Structure 1
Amino acid sequence: MLDLIIESRQAVIAPGFSVKRILPFRLKRMIGPFIFMDHGGPISVPATTNLDVLPHPHIGLSTVSYLLEGNVTHRDSLGVEQLIKPGEVNWMTAGKGIAHSERFEDPAILAGGGLEMIQTWVALPEKDEEADPSFKNYTAEELPVFTDKGVWMRLIAGDAYGLTSHVKTSSPLFYLHVVLNEGARFGLPMEHSERGVYIVKGSVEVNGVTYTEGRLLVFTKGVDPLIIAKENATLMMLGGEHLGDRYIWWNFVSSRKERIEQAKEDWKQGRILLPPADNKEFIPLPEDNSRPAGGPPPGALS
């Protein structure tokens, strides 16, 4: 059965840059190891608009940036500079601490409505929370693709439907980009205990009810739902095995409250280095009672 419907909410991540925030949600903080999900775009703004997300820190998680359209330049404190393009997987593991920026350096793309991206965060197992930070770009050609009548699917990460992605992960999960033609039928992978379907575009029917874009459908363990495209639809499917409870504040994730407090102080004191190629400005640590622009509202997962 359908366990929960999560309606996306508007969140501002940079001046003039609003996204649809899906996770975390008060009734469902995580789906498998996925603890955060934003959907940005399609975006159409004047070419003079600056939507850049300035350097900011992370701990205890991996960020997964996936573009449907456009491009964005990633720079981080490891010295990595990567132009992210549609269909690629950009997996940044923060571990004990990293800072990165996301710059939109092609004004024509923004003005033409040609930017659309999904960013998720994957919480790390406790044993990996203090790992050294890393970044890896995987091209679209490296990722498994499956096609059938009215169905196109790319396995971004993990295991699903007998396919395995070569993207390196730290815990059992699946993450899929699925495109369905009107009338096409599709199911969810059964091997994972927590599963969700986010409707990026179009609408789908489940158990005789139609659901439209901007919603995340969360399904009970063991249920095998039939998803029918009511029109051409784009979906992101994600889930996996639960890691245990996590605390989340701004851009920090940890299994320990005190580690979040340490990360706050580390950022204030400059102990998390800025990207060497983007170190002239940064997002300051928000006040504890604020709702910061760079991440989800402060709060604990208990």
Structure 2
Amino acid sequence: MSFFPGTDPEIGDSRAIDQVEQLIIPRSSDIGGFEVRRALPTAKRRMVGPFIFFDRMGPALLRAGEALDVKPHPHIGLSTVTYLFDGEITHRDSLGTGMVIRPGDINLMTAGRGIVHSERSPEKLRGKPLSISGLQTWIALPDGHEEIDPAFQHVGAEALPTFSDDGVSGRVVIGDFLGLKAPVPVLSDTLYVDLHIEAGATCLFPAGTEERAAYILSGTLSVSGTDYEADQLLVFRPGDVIDLKAGPGPVHVMLFGGATMASKRYVWWNFVSSSKERIEQAKEEWRTGRFDIVPGDEEEFVPLPSG
């Protein structure tokens, strides 16, 4: 995991120095020809609001005969958020859910006290080249809700509010933005917005959300006269209205954030908790087979990592 300081602003431009609190360069890894860039957590920044994990998947083209096959694995203490720009993924979980997620949809799986799920390329698409591009993020559950019953919600793209005006367009995935509210249930103040800005246009990022960040998916984003490139994560200073301006061409970014967590969260593998002891308990439960199985995907699983 890496952290790099931003490009130095021009002398005297203190606003450019301060508005971008941190610039994070994701760590890339190749998973069988499928590139994933992990922006959170890092050594320098563990969370932005309730977001404790942020992965950029692809964009990638899997060759014929290849597929996405994430075997059944467990979670506690978080909600996973899957959001695609291209491709399809079949989600199955230990609640009996079977759902294909497509671009613009959102899958929100709340682990609570414990859930198991798998993510695979749909059977109907296998045997030919498969494109995949999207984001997987984790939202830590707030105090008092970490051990709730597991749940799953799927909201189709057509149900999410969209906006388009003066060269700025997008979709509100979670929370409130520009007077629009997404119908996605969350347990704490959370913001997640898919944003496109045309060349030369500007979008104002209001200061109402306590902790805010932007992940640049493509193009060049200018903030206070400093340019930032694709696959960089910008964490903004609280309390400022941020002018997000497209560079020479259009830019595509994901805005996210929310209220600061009331207490510290620990992460080990797929487990998130305010208690180290609870994570140790979850490790033992997975090691000894005490989590529920995934109906329709019972034959395989991801073993507990050593160490």
Instruction: Give the letter aligned to residue 305 of structure 2.
Output: P
| Greater gyration radius | 2
Give, in whole Å, the separation in 2 of the partners of 1:16 and 1:283: 19
**Residues matched between the structures, number:** 285
Matched, 1:149 2:166: yes
Written as runs of structure 1 = structure 2, the 5 A alignment for 1:1-302 is 1-12=19-30, 14-105=31-122, 106-107=125-126, 111=129, 114-230=131-247, 231-243=249-261, 244-288=263-307
Gap regions ≥5 residues in structure 2? 1-18
Q: Deviations over 1:95-140 (max 9, x none)?
A: 000000000132367x25x310101100001211100000010011
Q: List per-residue Cα deviations over 1:180-200 (Å, max 9, x = no partner).
A: 111110121311110000001
CA–CA distance in structure 1, aligned partners of residues 254 and 102 of structure 2: 17
Q: What is the TM-score when the length of structure 2 is the normalising length?
A: 0.90
Q: What is the CA–CA distance in structure 2 between the aligned matches of 1:261 and 1:283, rounded to whole Å?
A: 17
- Partner Cα distance (2:225, 2:28) in 1: 28
Amino acid at match of 2:104: G
Mapped contact 2:75–2:114 kept (Cα < 8 A): yes
Mapped to 1, the partners of 2:134 and 2:140 lie a distance apart of 20
Shift of 1:16: 4.0
Residue identity matched to 2:66: T
Residue by residue over 1:182-228, the C-alpha shift from the partner in whole angstroms, topping out at 9 and shown as x without a partner, is 11101213111100000011111111111111011000111112111
Give the 3-state SS of the residue equivalent to 2:187 in structure 1.
coil
- Would you say the 8 A contact 1:16–1:51 is kept in 2? no
Preserved CA contact (<8 Å) 1:34 1:121: yes
CA distance in 2 between counterparts of 1:188 and 1:245 reads 27
Percent identical among aligned pairs is 46
Deviation at 1:3, TM superposition (A): 0.2
Q: What amino acid is aligned across from residue 162 of structure 2 in structure 1?
A: V
Counterpart CA distance in 1 for 2:193 and 2:206 is 10
Contact 1:196 1:217 in 2 (8 A): yes
Q: Distance in 1 between matches of 2:218 and 2:56?
A: 11
1:236 Cα deviation after fit: 0.4
Secondary structure, counterpart of 1:44 in structure 2: strand
Task: Compute the displacement of 1:26 (Å).
Answer: 1.1
1:248 partner amino acid: V
> How many angstroms apart in 2 are the aligned matches of 1:64 and 1:11?
20
Given that 2:206 and 2:240 are in contact with CA atoms closer than 8 Å, whether structure 1 keeps it comes out as no
Unpaired runs of 5+ residues, structure 1, are: 289-302
1:264-289 deviation per Cα after TM superposition (whole angstroms, max 9, x unaligned): 0010111111211101001000012x
Aligned equivalents of 2:47, 2:187: Cα separation in 1:
16
- Cα RMSD for the two superposed structures: 1.3
Name the SS for the 1:226 alignment partner. Answer: strand
Cα separation, 2, equivalents of 1:269 and 1:16: 32
> Could you tell me how far apart the structure 1 residues matched to 2:44 and 2:126 are?
38
Given residue 139 of structure 2, which amino acid in structure 1 is its aligned partner? V
- TM-fit CA distance, 1:70: 0.8
Structure 1 residue ranges, 4+ long, deviating more than 6 angstroms after superposition: none
Deviation at 1:15, TM superposition (A): 4.1
How far apart in 2 are the matches of 1:11 and 1:257?
A: 27
Cα distance in 1 for partners of 2:64, 2:260 equals 42
Matching residue's letter, 2:276: K
Aligned equivalents of 2:97, 2:272: Cα separation in 1: 22
Do the aligned residues in 2 keep the contact of 1:15 with 1:51 (CA within 8 Å)? Answer: no
Amino acid of the residue matched to residue 23 of structure 2?
I
